[in-house]
Amino acid sequence: MNTPTLNTRRLTLRKFNENDLEAFYDIFSDKEVNQFLPWFPLKNLDEAKSFYQERYASIYQKKQRYAYAIC
């Protein structure tokens, strides 16, 4: 299984899921955050969902590597 959930007393690392899309959009639509990333800021939640599906959901299906949400 790729990307197992890891828990400590103060931190949880887990897979991204569609419940994270609003926070995902908030981060990836911020021009300052994206200044040093290789993609352009996301313009709306539909773009965030597409980005999530292409970059994260597909990784989880293929079980090729880890990709964590920090909670």
Task: Note the pTM of the prediction, 2 decimals.
Answer: 0.76
> What is the rounded distance in angstroms from the CA atom of residue 5 to the CA atom of residue 70?
10
Please say if the pLDDT value at position 65 is more than 80: no
Please say if the pLDDT value at position 34 is more than 90: no
CA angle 6, 20, 52 (to 5 degrees): 95
Please say if the pLDDT value at position 16 is more than 80: yes
Specify the pLDDT at position 48: 93
Summarize the confidence of residues 9-26 as an average pLDDT. Answer: 93
